Chains A and B, each alone.
Chain A
């Protein structure tokens, strides 16, 4: 089936540093998402993105967070500066929109550890 790739799978950084999480969505998909999952807890929506713009963001999407997809390349989540509470697994997802909008395809996640 369709694949969403996330790079890297693990990232360890010091508090206060910047980190960029990369996502290669399914080709020809138009909608992109980031979710955050702390171990043993639910998937929590961060942000969605369409046509070069943020459509909706949650309270978890702090001012230190930003997303972009320059020139149709990777869809990225940047955190600058990072904080201890940012440690979690971040999942990227994409969907085609239209009648199949309900199907989000997820990547395997990036496990971020902030020390």
Chain B
């Protein structure tokens, strides 16, 4: 069916890496965004991808495969403060640049 799917939870260790997966099935595709959201705070924009491949933005990298309806957010050299929810959001064919969000993945970084 239509929608954006993410695993609920993810755990990793400080200094290592974490990969947050996202799969989507939408009416059309006009780009995918990743946001970070901390409890009780606004979602903060991290990255936007619209072309296939890996986009390296330092601490955050994003990958997109449009044919597979799949993206991931890769966080490297994890810090404790990276513990947060990471939201995947897809812009479909709707009007006005609407984003459809996934349920978010709660990342816990252990010392």
Q: Which of B45, B96, B100, B101 contacts A103 (CB 8 A)?
A: B45
Contact: A91 with B102, CB < 8 Å? Answer: no
Residues of B within 8 Å of A, CB-based: how many? 25
Task: Assess whether B33 is interfacial by the CB under 8 Å rule.
Answer: yes
**8 tightest A-B CB contacts, nearest first:** A55-B96, A48-B96, A106-B42, A43-B101, A42-B103, A101-B97, A102-B48, A55-B95
25 A-B residue pairs with CB within 8 Å: A4-B42, A31-B96, A31-B97, A33-B96, A35-B101, A42-B101, A42-B103, A44-B101, A48-B97, A49-B96, A55-B95, A55-B96, A97-B97, A101-B91, A102-B48, A102-B50, A102-B91, A103-B48, A104-B97, A106-B35, A106-B42, A106-B44, A108-B41, A108-B42, A109-B42
Distance from A6 Cβ to chain B, minimum over Cβ atoms (Å): 9
Contacts between the two chains (Cβ within 8 Å), count: 64
Interface size grouping (class) on chain A: 20 to 34
Q: Does B87 interact with chain A (Cβ within 8 Å)? A: yes
Known contacts: A4-B42, A42-B102, A91-B43. The answer to whether A103 contacts B95 by CB under 8 A is no
Option from B45, B95, B104 in Cβ contact (under 8 Å) with A104: B45
Q: B31, B42, B48, B103: which contacts A91 (Cβ < 8 A)?
A: B42
Known: A43-B89, A43-B104, A109-B40. 6 other contacts (CB 8 A): A33-B98, A41-B103, A45-B101, A56-B98, A102-B50, A103-B45
Most buried by A among B31, B97, B101: B97
